Structures are given as structure tokens and as C-alpha cells.
Amino acid sequence: MLHEDILQRGRSHASVTLAEVIRAFSYALDLTEGQPEGHCTRACYIGCLIGREIGLEQHQLDELFYTLLLKDLGCSSNAARIWELYQADDLRFKQEWKTVPIGLPATLRFVFARSARGAPLKRRIAVIANILRNGDAIAQEMIQTRCSRGSSIAAQLGFSPTVCSGVYHLDEHWDGSGRPSHLRGDAIPLYARIALIAQIADVFYIHGGPDAARDEVAGRAGSWLDPELVAAFLRVAERTGTWSDLGSPWLEAKLMGFAPQDDTQELDEDGLDRIAAAFGQVIDAKSPYTAGHSNRVAEYADRLAGRLGVISPRRRALRRAAALHDIGKLGVSNAILDKPGVLDDAEWRIMRGHAAQTKAILGRIGAFSDMAALAAAHHERLDGKGYPLGLEDAAIARETRIITVCDFFDALTADRPYRAAMTREDALSVMQAEAGRAIDGEVFEALKAMV
């Protein structure tokens, strides 16, 4: 199922398998969909139970497992457009949208209630009028972007065309009313049909409990959902163990019982690099102002580490940390990330929280846990006035200093919602004033020589 260059047998320096890493990174996808922690894990468990119930062969269960964990891989790519078009908090919008009843009246009520909430009446009317005028095109654009980006990243990770197709067609509906291709019935890939049921089941389970999940899935049979698969889900839902498992602290371990049986190889260094780069793309898709940021910071950090004599194994880990340093921003609304003005105190607290989220996400993954603190500390300052911990000079690792300098430089030389990009010369001048206070002077001098 996977390209052989992602996995390699017998590499004892890597402590996790592909399944473990993807499952752990799925928590980052929960963030950007505004879903409660563990949504992808729970949906994967539900979907795997359905797959087993209908008698899928082992290789199909293996592919279904990854389709379910990666179903939201492209979800960060429509966050900025939700903010731009609806003038709404994208995280709350996505979360609440998933519980809107089927039908035009409920959809219109949601749009009227959520669009440009709190804005002056004239602006609200303009926003809502644009949505009503162009609603179909807007929906198609956002879902097409999400689906294309998700399937493309899945392909870069080496997953089979069947998995990529399952990710791409997640939002298709049994009656042909879905997107992006308006497929109908059995023309919709099987894994996508199962994933949509699992997604709806978990959303309503969290929202209202087992009965709400059963009722909602059953109510969408024949319209959104494949009736035969709905029947299989309802059989699974009759077992009390299904719901106790979803709420169990051992759910992750139970889910790994569905992990591909032949996926016992440990990830090699190239596989870890590829995963870091792929999730760097997920991060950068969150805002147009950060397009390519994670990759550039990783590239700068790698070159800078070479100049500063960082040994090869640490240099490779540093590049991954640099690529993932902003993964916590997936949990920050674009209403804050893309705000053209100064953040207020509440918004600033949320923005600062992304560093702790970065540490929490990377800390879940054995092969990435050693870099969690390094990546999360990229906003610390030598003078102790940084965040999230207010670390001072001696407590800040050299790798973090490198990431900080590279992040600072790339941020200054890229457009931001509140200012245009600076020239390299102006950026270096700003950084020079912070050398020895906020950033490491030796690292800065190496950057200056490099650029």
C-alpha cells in the first residue's frame, strides 16, 4: 500500500510505526476542524467496526484505517476562506455546521445567524447577500480545495490511490447532492462512504450521546448515506461495547488493534522527514499569509545548522522541528491569524497558546517527542520576556535559537495581514536590534552571512 521508501525494516533508532505517527498527528487535524480532541481517532474506530461488520478483506481494512485517520487532511485549506466569506470564526463555524439539520431552511438559519455576527448591520447584509448570491459556487470552491489538498498530501505521503480517493470524496452524498464530484450511489468510493458515516456518528455522539448518533445516521440513510452501510452501523451501534470503547481511556490502544497487520516496520529517517514536510503543508494551508512558511523555516534552519556545525542526526531532527514549529496554530481561528489590526488581550492569549499546543501534539509521538520542547519554544527570548514559559538565555537550547531566528526572518520578509513584507535589508536591520536580547547573536550573524 505504501511506497517502500517510507518504511524500512530493522531501524532501531526510530521508535514508532507509520500507524502510530499518523494516529498521533490526527489530533492536529481535530484542532483545525474545531472538533473535540480525539475526533479522528473515534471516527476511525467506528469506521473500522463498520468495515469489519461488512466483511472487508484485511487489505481493505488496512486502507480504510488510514482513510479514516486522514479524512480531514485538507481541512486547513478552507479556513481562511470561511473567515473571508462568512466573517466568522472558522473553528466554531466548522464545528457547528456539522450539526445543522439537512434542508435549506436550517442551512439559511445557520448562515443568517453565524455570518458577520456582531458586525454593523450594513456589513452583515453585504456578507449574507454575497453568500446567498454565490452560495453554490462558494461551497464547491471550498470543498474542492479541501478535497484536492487532502488527497494530494496523502499521495505525497505514499498512500495508495484508493486511500487518496477516499479522502477526496469524503463529502459526496448517496443521492448525488454532495461534492466535489456529485457522485451518486455505488460510484462513491466505499471508504469515503464509510468515513462520512463514521464522521457523522462521532459528531452527534459527542453532541448528544449514542441515541443522537444512531438517530442522525439512520435519518440520513438514502439521502446522504449508503442505506446498507447505515444498517451495518446500526448493528454495530446496538453493541454496548461500541459506546463504552469510544469513551474509554484505552481507545487509542483498542484502535491500534485495527492497524495494518503488515505495518510492523519502524519508520526510517526518510519517512519521518516526509511526514514532517507533509504536515508542514497542512499548517501553511491555514492562512494565505503563511503559505510556504514552514518549509522555508525548515530550509533556513537546516542550512544554518550546517554553518553552525550541528551534527547530522541533530540537524535532521532540527529540520523536522522547524517544519512543525507552528502546528499548534491549527487550533487558532483565522479571525485571529488573519486579523489586519492589533490583537486584543483575549486574542493575544489565544495566539500565544499555539506554542503549548505544538508541544502537546509533538509530545504524543515517540519519534518527535524529543523535538516537542525545541519547536514549542520558538517564541522564547534570551531576556526572559518570551512565551510560553518565559525561559531565559541559559534555558533555551541551541536548536530552538536557530528555529527562532529563521522564523523571525521569514515572518519579517513575508506579507502579514497588518503589514507588507519587508526587504531582506530592513528585516536584518530589525533583527540586529534584537540580537542579544530576543535572539542569539551568533546565530543571527550566521543567518546574515547566509542570506
Contacts of 354 (CB under 8 A, 6+ apart): 326, 328, 329, 331, 332
**What pLDDT is attached to residue 113?**
94
| pLDDT for 11 | 37
> 149-185 burial string, b = 16+ CB within 10 Å, else e?
bbbbbbbebbbbebbbbbbbbbbbbbeeebbbbebee
Mean model confidence pLDDT for the chain: 93
Higher pLDDT, 421 or 7: 421
Q: For residues 273 and 319, is the Cβ–Cβ distance under 8 A?
A: yes
Which distant-in-sequence residues (6+ apart) come within 8 Å of 134 by Cβ?
none
Residue-wise pLDDT for 57-82, tens only, equals 999 999 999 999 999 999 999 999 99
Question: Which residue pairs from 131-137 have beta carbons closer than 8 angstroms and sit at least 24 positions apart in sequence?
Answer: 131/85, 131/86, 135/111
Top pLDDT among 266 and 152 is at: 152
Q: According to the model, what pLDDT value does residue 216 have?
A: 98
Helices of type H across 285-328: 293-307, 312-323
CB 28 within 8 A of CB 75: no
Question: Would you say 431 and 408 are in contact if contact means Cβ atoms under 8 Å apart?
Answer: yes
Spell out the residues 6+ positions from residue 297 whose beta carbon is closer than 8 angstroms to its own: 322, 323, 325, 403, 406, 407, 410
3-state class (DSSP) for residue 228: helix
Q: Are 282 and 152 in contact (CB under 8 A)?
A: no
Confidence bin at 265 (pLDDT 50/70/90): low
**Residue from 98, 329, 359, 448 carrying the catalytic annotation:** 329
Higher-pLDDT residue of 366 and 378 is: 378
Average pLDDT rounded to a whole number, residues 189-215: 98
3-state secondary structure at position 21 = helix
Kindly state the greatest CA–CA separation across the chain.
Answer: 66
Pairwise CA distance, residues 283 & 73, whole Å: 10
Which of 239, 217, 240, 266 is CA-nearest to residue 365? 266
How far, in Å, CA of 327 to CA of 293, rounded? 12
pLDDT of residue 14: 45
Q: How far apart are CA 356 and CA 359, in angstroms?
A: 5
Per-residue pLDDT for 8 more than 50?
no
pLDDT in tens, 382-402: 999 999 999 999 999 999 999
Per residue in 305-353, pLDDT (tens digit) is 999 999 988 999 999 999 999 999 999 999 999 998 899 999 999 999 9
The pTM of this model reads 0.93
The predicted-structure confidence for 225-253, as pLDDT tens digits, reads as follows 999 999 999 999 999 899 999 999 999 99
Active site residue 329: yes
Long-range (24+ apart) CB contacts under 8 A made by 352-355 are: 352/379, 352/387, 352/388, 353/328, 353/388, 354/326, 354/328, 354/329, 355/328, 355/379, 355/387, 355/388
